[in-house]
């Protein structure tokens, strides 16, 4: 019997030769059975019928008459998809067989030649490339790595982001342009309210209207003179600026943003897997909600400052924009329903460890732990905002002592307490814990046996590349998505709740589970062989003409009869531009009453991790230490 990967290529070739027939197949996909066995059976029947059609087409080559057998084929397809007919062959596969074949075949997902030369794609002239991003340090760091490589390529890169990162960007020899906004305030709202809960939407709507206006205006100023614009879509302004400047536009991001059935949107990860239809709809919902929130401001800005007509999602076609994802295909495999212009390049690592000198006290602590034959863990949740930083510190200390490991601690959660009057006295650290202020991850994570962090994309990539088990305690945003990926890959644990019982068990498993340790080591070897920055630049060159074509079409469709307004001036033309904004709300539209239970389920506030069940089984098998395990341990989640 042919392998699944071989059949996939076979089906792809037939699709190319039978486009009209396959279109009719796609129109019936809504009735596809969801059962695993039925799905595999259906797949092989499709292959069989398409093969028969391909053979008949070859026999009838040269005939100009219409072949009505295509109608019969469409009918057969409908019957197969409806499950109402049998097959002459038994093409059914067990789910376990599919899993085995998938792992064995490792069939490529993209039909792209990785060995193709980029000599014919590389521009002959030096280009001014602006990278526009907002957010935290983790959002800026990948662009520094990319821009350093673009400098080597002979281009003139610039990073447009918050002023607090200016010195860091410039010390790498990269030009800088300021963008307004306070990432710390946005992070506080996300953590305190949960992503896209009623309270989040309400507070964000009240506090960020003026900030968005400043962001859009400053981004327009910072992108002047660019030949290419690369933007994190969270910055909101880039697609419109590229349209006004008529320059190629690329998106780049650290989390999945393109519609797919393979994964849910990184901001809408459910507690349990919900299937392809749910996954796809999370992107549709997020796109529409996100656009609804900013459409009025964006269209007013387009008209007044950019000299463009109002727009909407259909006109922008964001899913057609070339995209550079800077995470590893070994961590988030590119889905088969991604377009050819969507590239999963690998991580864009900024390796600073080679030029960093570790403090002698840190080196002594590591050496003593090795001499004592104690496992070392790194624990750091970034500059996260928690309601009680002291309680979190106590939980970490007790968990480390209970597991009998040594800990390198980065206690960033105590740096932003919000109200100084509410701050409690610092908790003294035992000798088993060594606190640091900062250290490059590419050096630090290679010195430890396990890493526990918040699940940010960059930190997750660094810990996985180091080849050590990873514990993720997500707080907001894409952290839940990467926590689920770590757990799905078997290289770590994702915690929904953090207290002494749960965290100590997780630390023990991460430092003692041979299966997890081996899997993490193998994944680290794969990631270290990747060169995400190099692949991203190759993709940039390859897709440049495609990006130029898109922006020309978009500019022709949306350009105002009047010229763009000069920088610093407002548009006051005679056109009644408010017609362009018809039907677009200026504020959030919220259904229901604030007293009702409207909040989306926040993953960090749910049931205990599935780790509890695994730990119970491990205790029964004698593979965990004598730690009390209770499905409901009664302890409070100190991160709430």
pLDDT in tens, 442-458: 999 999 999 999 999 99
Residue with more model confidence, 90 or 503: 503
Q: Which of these, 128, 606, 234, lies nearest to 457 by C-alpha position?
A: 234
pLDDT band, very low/low/confident/very high, at 206 (cuts 50, 70, 90): confident
pLDDT value for 536: 98
- The answer, yes or no, to whether residue 475 has pLDDT greater than 50, is yes
Residue with more model confidence, 293 or 279: 279
What are the DSSP E strand ranges found in 1-133?
128-132
Per-residue model confidence as pLDDT tens digits over 534-593: 999 999 999 999 999 998 887 677 555 554 544 444 444 434 334 333 333 333 333 333
pLDDT value for 208: 78
Mean pLDDT of the chain: 76
CB atoms within 10 A of CB 522: 12
The number of C-alpha atoms within 13 Å of 325 and in the hemisphere containing its C-beta is 22
Question: To which residue do tokens 């980029």 refer?
Answer: 118
State in words which class domain 128-347+533-581 has: alpha beta
355-528+610-621 has the same fold as 128-347+533-581: yes
Per-residue model confidence as pLDDT tens digits over 326-369: 999 999 999 999 999 999 999 999 998 888 999 999 999 999 99
- The answer, yes or no, to whether residue 210 has pLDDT greater than 90, is no
Question: To which residue do tokens 């050096």 refer?
Answer: 443
pLDDT value for 80: 42
Q: Which of these, 492, 485, 486, lies nearest to 516 by C-alpha position?
A: 492
Residue with more model confidence, 91 or 280: 280
% of the chain exceeding 90 in pLDDT: 53
pLDDT band, very low/low/confident/very high, at 425 (cuts 50, 70, 90): low
Per-residue model confidence as pLDDT tens digits over 541-558: 999 999 999 988 876 775
pLDDT band, very low/low/confident/very high, at 150 (cuts 50, 70, 90): very high
Domain definitions of the chain by residue range: 4-103, 128-347+533-581, 355-528+610-621
pLDDT value for 272: 87
pLDDT band, very low/low/confident/very high, at 412 (cuts 50, 70, 90): confident
pTM of the full structure: 0.71
Q: Which of these, 146, 148, 157, 155, lies nearest to 254 by C-alpha position?
A: 146
pLDDT value for 603: 37
- The answer, yes or no, to whether residue 241 has pLDDT greater than 60, is yes
Q: What is the rounded distance in angstroms from the CA atom of residue 97 to the CA atom of residue 95?
A: 5
Residue with more model confidence, 376 or 415: 376
Structure tokens at 368: 């003593």
DSSP 3-state helix, strand, coil percentages of the chain (rounded to 5)?
Answer: 50, 10, 40
pLDDT value for 633: 59
Query: 355-528+610-621, superfamily in CATH?
Result: Glycogen Phosphorylase B; (3.40.50.2000)
Length of the chain: 640
């Amino acid at each position: 019997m042919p392998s699944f990967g071989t059949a996939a290529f076979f089906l792809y070739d037939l699709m190319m030769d039978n486009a009209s027939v396959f279109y009719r197949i796609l129109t019936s996909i809504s009735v596809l059975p969801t059962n695993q066995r039925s799905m595999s059976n259906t797949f092989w029947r499709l292959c069989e019928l398409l093969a028969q059609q391909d053979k008949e087409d070859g026999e009838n080559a040269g005939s100009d008459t219409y072949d009505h057998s295509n109608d019969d084929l469409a009918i057969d397809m409908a019957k197969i998809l409806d499950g109402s007919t049998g097959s002459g062959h038994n093409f059914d596969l067990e789910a376990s067989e599919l899993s085995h074949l998938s792992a064995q075949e490792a069939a490529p997902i993209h039909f792209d030649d990785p060995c193709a030369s980029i000599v014919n794609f590389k521009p002959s002239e030096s280009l001014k490339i602006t990278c526009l991003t907002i957010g935290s340090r983790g959002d800026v760091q990948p662009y520094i790595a990319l821009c350093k490589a673009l400098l080597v390529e002979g281009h003139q890169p610039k990073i447009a982001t918050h002023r607090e990162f200016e010195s860091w960007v410039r010390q790498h020899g990269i030009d800088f342009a300021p963008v307004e906004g306070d990432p710390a305030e946005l992070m506080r709202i996300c953590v305190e309210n949960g992503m896209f809960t009623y309270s989040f939407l309400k507070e964000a709507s009240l506090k960020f209207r003026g900030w968005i206006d400043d962001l859009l205006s400053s981004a327009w100023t910072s992108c002047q003179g660019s030949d290419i614009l690369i933007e994190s879509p969270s910055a909101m302004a880039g697609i419109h600026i590229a349209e006004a400047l008529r320059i190629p536009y690329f998106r780049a991001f650290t989390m999945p943003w393109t519609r797919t059935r393979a994964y849910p949107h990184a901001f809408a990860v459910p507690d349990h897997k919900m299937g392809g239809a749910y996954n796809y709809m999370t992107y549709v919902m997020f796109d529409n909600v996100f656009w609804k929130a900013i459409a009025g401001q964006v269209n007013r800005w387009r008209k007044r400052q950019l000299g463009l007509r109002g727009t909407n999602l259909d006109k922008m076609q964001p899913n057609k924009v070339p995209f550079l994802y800077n995470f590893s295909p070994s961590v988030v495999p590119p889905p088969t329903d991604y377009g050819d212009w969507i590239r999963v390049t690998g991580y864009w690592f900024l390796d600073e460890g080679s030029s960093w000198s570790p403090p002698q006290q840190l080196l002594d602590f590591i050496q003593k732990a090795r001499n004592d034959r104690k496992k070392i863990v790194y624990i750091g949740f970034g500059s996260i905002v928690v309601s009680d930083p002291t309680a979190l510190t106590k939980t970490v200390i007790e968990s480390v002592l209970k597991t009998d490991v040594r800990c390198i601690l980065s206690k960033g959660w105590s740096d932003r307490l919000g109200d100084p009057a509410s701050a409690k006295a610092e908790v003294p650290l035992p000798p088993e814990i060594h606190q640091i202020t900062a250290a490059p991850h590419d050096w630090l994570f290679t010195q430890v046996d396990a890493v526990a962090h918040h699940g940010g994309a960059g930190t997750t990539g660094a810990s996985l590349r180091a080849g050590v088990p990873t514990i993720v305690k997500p707080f907001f945003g894409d952290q839940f998505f990467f926590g689920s990926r770590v757990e799905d890959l078997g290289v770590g644990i994702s915690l929904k709740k953090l207290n002494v019982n749960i965290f100590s068990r997780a630390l023990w498993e991460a430092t003692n589970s041979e299966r997890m340790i081996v899997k993490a080591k193998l994944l680290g070897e794969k990631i270290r062989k990747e060169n995400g920055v190099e692949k991203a630049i190759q993709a940039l060159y390859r897709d440049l003409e495609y990006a130029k074509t898109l922006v020309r079409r978009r500019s022709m469709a949306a350009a105002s009869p009047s010229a763009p307004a000069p920088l610093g001036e407002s548009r006051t033309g005679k056109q009644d531009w408010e017609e362009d904004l018809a039907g677009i709300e200026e504020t959030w539209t919220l259904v229901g009453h604030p007293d009702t239970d409207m909040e989306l389920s926040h993953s960090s506030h749910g049931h205990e991790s599935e780790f509890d069940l695994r730990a119970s089984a491990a205790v029964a098998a004698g593979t965990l230490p004598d730690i009390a395990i209770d499905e409901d341990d009664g302890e409070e989640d100190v991160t709430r």
